[in-house]
Structure 1
Amino acid sequence: MKAIVVTDQAAGTARMTLVERPDPDAARFAGLSGASYGDVIVEVHASGFTGDELEWPSTWIDRLGRDRTPSIPGHELAGVVSVLGYGTTGLSVGQRVFGLTDWTRDGTLAEYVVVEARNLAPLPGDIDFTVGAGVTMAGLTAWQGLFDHGRLQAGQSVLVHGAAGVVGSMATQLAREAGAYVIGTGRAAGRQTALDFGAHEFVD
């Protein structure tokens, strides 16, 4: 399969290289590739990458601190399940999915990726793969901020900084859907965008 790999942390994106890597076929998937109970192989149709990943230790070393280069970056994905690993439940071959890969595993800038099934969710047929891949990390960040950490409840007010941005627009929509009063902030040029995403007010 084709994949983009990184080998030099100091060089950053300048040393990202398109290479041929072995497919995570069924034999390797059974244990030799590091796959474990409950994993699936996904044919990647769209993926996301942030340059910050190249600063994360997990891009360069595994959980035991061993060098894992050349590694495949990218953690957001949308695609189709092609192989079910042993013990996998809740998904089926051919199913459209989106989600995130584990930080210490090879990522999604490849034609196929091994993912824990628990890190995937069904992608409805009317949602484009690129949208599915693009929403995962921003959506999770917004959800965790609002509900896991903020304990947002209906009827409360929430101030969303950068309401026209990627995470801010997700937070605005989620908060509005939860019944909160949303005040968005940002540059004047983002006012209408923030209001279109559901902010009740906007502060420049």
Structure 2
Amino acid sequence: MQAITVRDRSAGLAGLSLAEVPYPRAAENDVIVRVHAAGFTRGELDWPATWSDRAGRDRTPSVPGHDVSGVVAELGYGTTGLTVGQRVFGVTDWARNGSLAEYVAVEARNLAPLPAGVDHTVAAALPISGLTAWQGLFDHGHLAAGQTVLIHGAAGGVGSIAVQLAREAGARVIGTGRTGDRDTALRLGVDAFLDLQSDPWRTPARSTWCST
């Protein structure tokens, strides 16, 4: 099968190349996903797990990408809760080959059923950013209804999801971003938007904000 692979850690994004790689093997409690859409974060190329396994052994050429959306093609031994042909999305293991491939092996526990009304491309943009937003707001921030939360980069990948989650939780949301992000952040539901590009923000003694 074909996949995007990396071999040279010093090459950066220029080191990404299309190659033929073996079809993945489904270990116990795995599923094989036929990939319809995948997400890639350029920071992955700096993660140790992109280049070595958990024992520290070189595992290049490796396949990056950890957000995935697709259809279950095969079940590993002992896998329950999912069925062949089911639409799913989720995250792949950091220290295994990732989602920039035609097929990928994923632990079943790291996948969730994908509703029929959600496009694969949209689903593949969600897992890592969504989990990061959830963990920041609720696991670490313990956000509750009636509280006010400041979300930097409110129109970005993580920030846009954090805004929506915070609103659903009943919090008041203040978002920050660049001038061009204001309309997006307001559409997402921020109660107030702080423009970090405006001139007053460059002078510590002054500050302004724009609210709905």
TM-score band by shorter chain is over 0.9
Taking the TM superposition and a 5 Å limit, the aligned residue runs for 1:1-204 are: 1-24=1-24, 28-29=25-26, 35=27, 37-204=28-195
Code of the residue aligned with 2:16 in structure 1: it is: M
Tell me the TM-score normalized by structure 2.
Answer: 0.90
> Mind listing any 5+ residue stretches in structure 1 that lack a counterpart?
30-34
Code of the residue aligned with 2:137 in structure 1: it is: L
Code of the residue aligned with 2:51 in structure 1: it is: W
How far does the alpha carbon of each residue in 1:138-163 deviate from its partner, in whole angstroms, 9 at most, with x for none? 11110010011001111111011111
Tell me the TM-score normalized by structure 1.
Answer: 0.93
C-alpha separation in 2, matches of 1:192 and 1:14: 34
Task: Compute the displacement of 1:191 (Å).
Answer: 1.2
Percent identity between the aligned chains? Answer: 68
Code of the residue aligned with 1:5 in structure 2: it is: T
C-alpha separation in 2, matches of 1:64 and 1:159: 40
> Mind listing any 5+ residue stretches in structure 2 that lack a counterpart?
196-212
Could you say what the CA RMSD is over the residues aligned between the two structures, in angstroms? 0.9
Code of the residue aligned with 1:180 in structure 2: it is: A
What is the DSSP-based 3-state SS (H/G/I as helix, E as strand, rest coil) of the residue aligned with 1:191? helix
Larger radius of gyration: 2
C-alpha separation in 2, matches of 1:89 and 1:156: 40
C-alpha separation in 2, matches of 1:3 and 1:188: 38
Task: Compute the displacement of 1:63 (Å).
Answer: 0.3
Code of the residue aligned with 2:73 in structure 1: it is: S
What is the DSSP-based 3-state SS (H/G/I as helix, E as strand, rest coil) of the residue aligned with 2:9? coil
C-alpha separation in 1, matches of 2:12 and 2:153: 27
The alignment covers a number of residue pairs equal to 195
C-alpha separation in 2, matches of 1:13 and 1:191: 30
Task: Compute the displacement of 1:202 (Å).
Answer: 1.0
What is residue 198 of structure 2 aligned with on the other side? Answer: none
What is residue 32 of structure 1 aligned with on the other side? Answer: none
C-alpha separation in 2, matches of 1:18 and 1:124: 31
C-alpha separation in 2, matches of 1:40 and 1:164: 34
